[in-house]
Structure 1
Amino acid sequence: LIGGLFGMLLGYGFGGMAGALGFLIQLLLIGTLVWLAMAFFRSRSQPVVAGGAPARGLGFGRTSQRDVAPQSAPARSSAGFTLPRIGGGTIAPAPQMADITLDPADLDIFERRLGEVQRAFADEDHAALRRLSTPEMVSYFSEELAENAKRGVRNEVSGVRLLQADIAEAWNEGEDDYATAAFRYEAIDVLRDRVTGALAGGVEEPTETVELWTFVRKNGGEWKLSAIQEADAHGA
């Protein structure tokens, strides 16, 4: 129609050259429409860039092994009970930490705790374990004691002799004080049948063990065992 009208304006009417000229105009119009359509869809497909500062990923505060709940597989001490490892698990923002200095009396308490916890576990004294340990540690001890009872055995620990004790580190987190003591000690650790008393595991002679015992106290209260980690006897 546009080609015919254009031909009439030129004096050719709807026939003759109007047909050829109209055909060329139609091609031009179709090409223009195609180009406009492609330009439109290209503009729709471009991502919209928002202004402002670039996004930043989630960050966490300074963390260390002592900031992490013990979620990994528990360690096993020479005393036969199951112990939580320090490390692993979900990382949370760390509270403000500061190193602290302990008195020689604190190390004396840690040394006593070594024998007291070993004796309470061997005697299956749950009340003493609750007094000497955090609830988390008590749960590990209770699980191991229940497993021993299920197997019909009893863990017997005797002759505990401390060979060396040092405070590896001590720090504060809010209301809580923490301290890790490195212990090297000897003990006779065996399993016995609960009925007959016959030897069911271990050897009846002293064996040497090196472990890191971490203690916690809240608001200056009593030190309680919160974690035990096996250590290299040569590197401790």
Structure 2
Amino acid sequence: MLSAVPRFAKIAAVVVLAAAASLATFDIADARRAGSSGFGSRGMRTFDTPAITRTAPTQAAPIDRTMTPRPQQQPAAQPPLGAQQRPGFFGGFGGSMIGGLIAGGLLGMMLGHGFGGGFGFLGLLLQIGLIMLAISFAMRFFANRQRTQYAGPGASYNNSAMNNANASPRPSFSIPSIGGGTAASQKARQANDEIGLQQADLDRFEHLLTEIQSAYGAEDYATLRRLTTPEAMSYLAEEFGENATHGVRNSVSDVRLLQGDIAEAWREGDSEYATLAMRYSSIDAVVDRATGKLVDGDDRNPSETTELWTFVRKPGSDWVLSAIQGTGTH
């Protein structure tokens, strides 16, 4: 009987399976393209969102490349014994209906009937397309309903974020006052600062920004090892390797801090951490390693970027870079 299956029926079955796979991966592909990412470690606050500041009024990207173990989540509360759980659309009637449509249609095609009906191959493709659109619409519709019904904790989180955004921002230190002056030090200490950062610390952060960016553009491994933690250095070296594989390098020059905020500073054991929101300008471009020809970006005009940098130090040692988080602001 299988030899009698029309060729177009086999093709249609492959089309259906491919379309279903594309629906499953669509959101994942979108997620990869959305916003910036982060790497490194912020100690016990690695997976916490840094405080919003005037320099970075939006939430920073989460740290998705880190060696810090993710804390174990508490198991979800079990429903009371005997309580009836409400099945999702694809776990109940909807799942049975859609599964029946697909299975029945494929079986019908194998037997010479089904989706194609009396309309031939074009009718077959048209009906397949309509069914896939219906499945896509149903998935999004019921996903939105479930988010609306179970948005208790999420709503509280969003309200908290809105309150933070609407509240008066923390005092910021900005160029040229960051380089010196008592006023900048007083404003910095009024922020979410548990360790009492001094003006010398702020000056050091500004210097680290320019020194690390310049060393990155020059692929200066020795300088970067001195100014970063081993973990942060490993991710920077990984980026160098990827650029080399593609025959390019990232040229960074003329780095200048425009504005900065203390997002938070705290102690963990014998270590001190400080997360700074920094908006800076730089000439940032990707060029060919062999010829120096521009591949991407602008090698003449500066662009602005806002990121959150976390620094760490131990007693008797200087600040070093521990993590970088993007904000999607360029």
Asked whether the equivalents of residues 156 and 190 of structure 1 are also in contact (C-alpha less than 8 Å), the reply is: yes
Alignment of 1:228 with 2:324, yes or no, is yes
Give, as a single letter, the amino acid of the residue that structure 2 aligns with 1:90: R
Q: AA paired with 2:260?
A: A
One-letter identity of the residue aligned with 2:71: I
Cα deviation for residue 231 of structure 1 reads 2.6
Post-superposition offset of 1:166: 2.1
The equivalent residue for 2:315 is: 219
SS in 2 for 1:195: coil
CA displacement, residues 161-216 of structure 1 (integer Å, 9 cap, x when unaligned): 21112222111111100001111111111011111111011123211111110000
Q: Distance in 1 between matches of 2:62 and 2:251?
A: 20
Structure-1-length-normalised TM-score: 0.59
Deviation at 1:113, TM superposition (A): 0.3
**SS of the residue 1:100 aligns to:** coil
For 1:189, what is the secondary structure of its paired residue? Answer: strand
Runs of 5+ consecutive residues of structure 1 not aligned to the other structure: 1-64, 71-82
Counterpart of 2:277 (choices 179, 182, 206) is 182
2:101 maps to 1:121: no
Equivalences for residues 63-212 of structure 1 within 5 A = 66-67=43-44, 85=63, 90-91=70-71, 99-204=194-299, 205-212=301-308
- Residues of 2 paired with 1:99 and 1:92: CA distance? 26
Identity of aligned residues (%): 53
User: Per residue, is there more strand in 1 or in 2?
Assistant: 1
Residues matched between the structures, number? 154
How well do the aligned residues superpose, as a CA RMSD in angstroms? 2.7
2 CA distance for matches of 1:132 and 1:213?
13
Report the residue type matching 1:67 in the other structure: M
Q: CA deviation at 1:99?
A: 2.0
CA distance in 2, matches of 1:68, 1:169: 10
Which residue identity lines up with residue 189 of structure 1 in the other structure? Answer: D
Q: Report the alpha carbon displacement of residue 69 of structure 1 after superposing the two structures with TM.
A: 5.4
Contact 1:192 1:200 in 2 (8 A): yes
Greater RCO structure (CA 8 Å; 6+ sep): 2
How many angstroms apart in 2 are the aligned matches of 1:221 and 1:208? 31
Instruction: Provide the rounded CA distance (Å) in 1 between the counterparts of 2:241 and 2:291.
Output: 19
**Counterpart for residue 151 of structure 2:** none
Q: Is the 8 A contact 1:68 1:91 kept in 2?
A: no
TM-score normalised by the chain length of structure 2: 0.43
Q: Is the 8 A contact 1:68 1:89 kept in 2?
A: no
In structure 1, the residue matched to 2:56 is none
Runs of 4+ in structure 1 off by over 6 angstroms are none
Shift of 1:224: 0.5
Q: Report the alpha carbon displacement of residue 221 of structure 1 after superposing the two structures with TM.
A: 1.2
